[in-house]
Structure 1
Amino acid sequence: MSIKRWVTRRWYGKPGALGLLLPLEWLYTACAKRRRQRYAQQPERRYRAGVPVIVVGNISVGGTGKSPTVAWLVAHLRERGWQPGIASRGYGGHADQYPLLVEPTTPPQQAGDEPVMLRLSTGVPVAVAPARADAVKLLEAQGCNIIVTDDGLQHYALERDIELVVIDGERGLGNGHCLPVGPLREPPARLADANAVLINGTPRVELPVDGWAGTLSPLHLRRLSDSVRQPLSPLPFSGKVHAVAGIGHPERFFATLDALGIEVIRHPFGDHHQFTQQDISFGDQLPIVMTAKDAVKCQPLLSDTMRASSWALEVALTPETGFSDWLDSQLEPWSHVRREDVARRC
């Protein structure tokens, strides 16, 4: 077993030997608290946008369903007449210059995998920058009248109007400890300060706060050779497939495929894994099914023949009834921004 897998098991089970690192956890927690207090005491260090900012983040390391939540938010806001943009750190990307406005053709090596995926799936402007305030300023210049940030809960240099924390219902908060003993970036008490908590999937562990329920459901399969979408029943292939997942919680992806009746050969990778041809060369002709995020990086590595039998599983998040009304009520103080923008466009 690799060290990374061993640590992950300890994070989502009993800490075991990681308990020896408790002094480091105390130091980490004290530094995180001090950093947040420093920004609270020095408002001049925080950027206040001229439009509302919704931060979608988590307090744990790894995937919880933030990107599908961002995609749902963007679709909902557009239905309500807003002109949203998405700001991101662009983790895993290295651009020559920031902020970077992401185009559908921008290589994930420059912008990161999630920003490119969100640009393709939502169609709204996406900007990336290590300092998220720079990305927000660029989106404001593009005419966006509301900003949704993909991650960034701990990026206190950016003022926010709504904090939405996403939690994986299956794994919850792990062992409840902060790094390095556990998977948390901030203590569980931080959840009480957020405007809302969205629980992705059925909670299997008790959580310290109440939250809105959300369901992540598969939509269809998209063939990588031509982007043709195929329904999940009947499946466009039979027999075993290679399942590739370089996300924060690969087992969730594999479980989704299992539930669809797909017999999978599992290939888990770390979150934001930088794929090589060797990673996805399996020496046979079996189909490959991967997450939409991984497809952004893997598609250029595949031969034409392999693309024709490779698929991305596209999913969507649906919050429980009432969440959209709650969100609209939170944005009501900013409704004049939307109305003024509509008036200008007319």
Structure 2
Amino acid sequence: MIERLWSGRSPLYLLLLPLSWLYGAVSNLIRLSYRWGWRKVWRSPLPVVVVGNLTAGGNGKTPVVIWLVEALQRRGYRPGVVSRGYGGRADRYPLVLDMKTTPRQAGDEPVLIYQRTGAPVAVSPVRADAVRALVEKGGIDLIITDDGLQHYALARDIEIVVVDGVRRFGNGWWLPAGPMRERASRLTSVDAVIANGGVAVGEELPMQLVPGLAVNLKTGERRAASTLKNVVAMAGIGHPPRFFTTLAQSGVRLVREIPFADHQSYSEAQLAGLSGPGETLLMTEKDAVKARHFARENWWYLPVEAVLPETGAQALLDRITSLVSQPPPERAEETR
């Protein structure tokens, strides 16, 4: 139903327009309050790169963060990652992740980023607190924020927006009548736009999510996903159909497709009931981080990798690394 509303295929979104106008007015007022100095902005002593989006969920933002971290690591840099930790309930904040940190504490995406990259990761509803925790710990030379484009209390040096290249901006309206957190005109003020799938527009960088080998949650065995038999696919991400389409394009024959809400928490009994005798349960890597500790032998996940054109990717990385190699500007605790 939400997809039909947000895409404009259902005229019922018109009933929600008054709420959208209110959302837009509040959103703009918050942004202007920081721009005009009514509210204070905290600037990190290290460069900050924000990876965010304009629409609600499912754009491929976290794969871009992972790609960015790994690309910087290959160049010899030491990025740290901060996140709000959506879906997690830590006993205290900021929380710096370690190997014992669970998705229940930190949220699924921060745990996924930490496990995939090994980079320092900290979560806090107040992102400045997460940045301070990583800076205090040391061993990093720049900060990447997973989401946070609209978190204007934290100053940023570079803004990267990830756009769903297929769905784009739907009907173009603010939440809840449409998918927008901010209007599409915001793209004119960011440093880079990455289009996930579909067709890149203008100077957008095209990106594809390329699947790797399927991994068994219990044994760690790896094999081509197309060799798995009687596959039941599940996905608790922002846009589950993208995962199911990826599987079909990879030659996986699906018995059933089971979508869940983004950041869905799972129990062993719940997931065990999804597949029957002789069937294979195949999930996203984001789901796997929440199911690994009670995994069964017929449970697999499919990791994906963000792939960008080399020329555009290198130019973006050069711009980011130049912030680290050059003397930093004067960074006050509070700034406009």
Alignment TM-score, normalising by the size of structure 1 = 0.89
Structure 2 equivalent of residue 268 of structure 1? 259
Residue 326 of structure 1, CA deviation: 1.8
Partner of 1:344: none
* Structure 2: gaps (5+ residues): 329-336
Q: Is the contact made by 2:142 and 2:324 (CA closer than 8 Å) also made in structure 1?
A: no
- Give the distance between the partners of 1:75 and 1:101, measured in 2 at CA: 19
SS in 1 for 2:215: strand
Say if 1:15 and 1:182, in contact at 8 Å, map to a contact too: no
Instruction: For residue 305 of structure 2, give the secondary structure of its aligned residue in structure 1.
Output: strand
Give the letter aligned to residue 294 of structure 1: D
CA contact (8 A) 1:15 1:175 kept: no
Tell me if structure 2 keeps the 8 A contact 1:87–1:148: yes
State the Cα deviation string for residues 67-99 of structure 1 (Å, max 9, x = none).
110011001111222111110110000001000
Aligned position for 2:235: 245
SS in 2 for 1:308: coil
Q: 1:259 aligns with which of 239, 249, 255?
A: 249
Q: How does 1:302-313 map to 2 (within 5 A)?
A: 302=295, 307-313=296-302
Aligned: 1:298 with 2:298: no
Moved more, 128-137 or 269-278: 269-278
Picking from 182, 189, 200, the partner of 1:186 is 182
Q: Which amino acid aligns with 2:131?
A: V
Cα deviations by residue, 1:108-144 (Å, 9 ceiling, x for unpaired): 1000001111111001111000011111111112221
Question: 1-side partners of 2:260 and 2:116: how far apart?
Answer: 23
Between 113-122 and 222-231, the greater mean CA deviation after superposition = 222-231
Match of 2:37 in 1: 42
Gaps of 5+ in 1: 1-5, 339-346
Equivalent in the alignment of 2:304: 315
RMSD: 1.8
Give the partner amino acid of 1:155.
H
List structure 1 segments (4+ residues) > 6 angstroms apart after TM superposition: none
1:211 aligns with 2:204: yes
Alpha-carbon distance in 1 for matches of 2:121, 2:38: 26
Q: Tell me the amino acid that sits aligned with residue 282 of structure 1.
A: L
Task: Give the residue type in structure 2 aligned to 1:190.
Answer: R
- 1:337 and 1:296, CA in 2 relative to 1: closer, same or farther beyond 3 A? farther
Does the aligned pair in 2 maintain the 1:145–1:337 contact within 8 Å? no
Of 277, 283, 287 in structure 1, the residue corresponding to residue 268 of structure 2 is 277
Say which SS state the counterpart of residue 164 (structure 1) adopts. Answer: strand
Match of 1:97 in 2: 92
Report how many residues are paired: 323
Residue 232 and residue 267 in structure 1: after superposition, are their counterparts in 2 closer, same or farther (change >3 A)? closer
TM-score using structure 2 length: 0.91
Shift in Å, 1:43: 7.8
Distance 1:259 1:329 in 2: 33
> What pairs up with 1:24-173 in 2 under 5 angstroms?
24-42=19-37, 45-143=40-138, 144-173=140-169
1:195-228 CA distances to partner (integer Å, 9 max, x unpaired)?
110001123xx96x64111111001111101223
SS at match of 1:322: helix
SS at match of 1:90: coil
Deviation at 1:104, TM superposition (A): 2.6
The 2-side partners of 1:231 and 1:104 are apart by 28
Superposition deviation, residue 337 in structure 1: 6.2
SS at match of 1:159: coil
- Determine helix, strand or coil for the equivalent of 2:153: coil
Q: How far is 1:279 from its partner? A: 3.1
Is this contact kept in 2: 1:51–1:337, CA < 8 A?
no
Q: Are the counterparts in 1 of residues 97 and 120 from structure 2 also a CA contact under 8 Å?
A: yes
Deviations 1:283-306 (A, max 9, x none): 61211100000011122344xxxx
- Percent same amino acid among aligned pairs? 43
- For the pair 1:14 / 2:9, whether they are aligned, the reply is yes
- Relative to structure 1, is the Cα distance of residues 242 and 232 closer, same or farther in structure 2, using a 3 angstrom cutoff? closer
